[in-house]
Amino acid sequence: MAQGRSSVTVRALTEQAIRHFPLYGRAAQGRLNRKVRNAARRAAEADPERLGYGRATGVTEERVAILRSPETFDRRGRTQGYQAVWAGRASRPRRPSEVPGQIDLFSELDEAERVATEEESDNSTEGHGEQS
C-alpha cells in the first residue's frame, strides 16, 4: 500500500516479507509461499473493501489487489488512514497459541519470585537469631 501499487504477486510479497528468502531451499520456499498465499486469502476475506485475492491463471500469477488504500483514498490523511486500518484489528483479542506440555512462562516467573522471596525472608530470620 505504501508503495502505491495497485497489486502485488504473492511471490513478490513473500520475497519482500522474508528478507533472506532466496537463501532457503526450494521446499522451504514453497512452504513460505503457501503461508503468505493463505495469509493473503484470509486478509482479502477479512477486509474485502480494501484487498482482493486473484488466483493464478494461465497468463498471470496469483496476486493481492489493493482496492482501497490510505495512501490515496483516505480523506483524513495518510497517517489517520493507516490508524483506521489497524484500529479494527486491535479490537479483536488474539488467542495465545497453546502447545501441549509447554509451561506458562509468567506462572513460572511468579513462582520463582515467590520462592526467592521466601528464601530471602528465611535467611534474614536465621541471621537475626544467630546474632542475638
Global confidence as pTM: 0.52
Sign of the CA dihedral running 102, 27, 34, 68: positive
Dump pLDDT digits (tens) for 7-17.
889 999 899 88
Cell numbers that stand for 52 in this block: 482482493
d(CA 74, CA 77): 6
Phi-psi region of 24 (alpha: psi -120 to 50; beta: other; left: phi over 0): beta
**Per-residue confidence band for 108, with pLDDT thresholds at 50, 70 and 90:** confident
Q: What is the mean pLDDT of the chain?
A: 78
Question: What is residue 127's predicted lDDT score, i.e. its pLDDT?
Answer: 57
AA identity, residue 46 = A
In this predicted structure, the answer to whether residue 132 has a pLDDT above a threshold of 90 is no
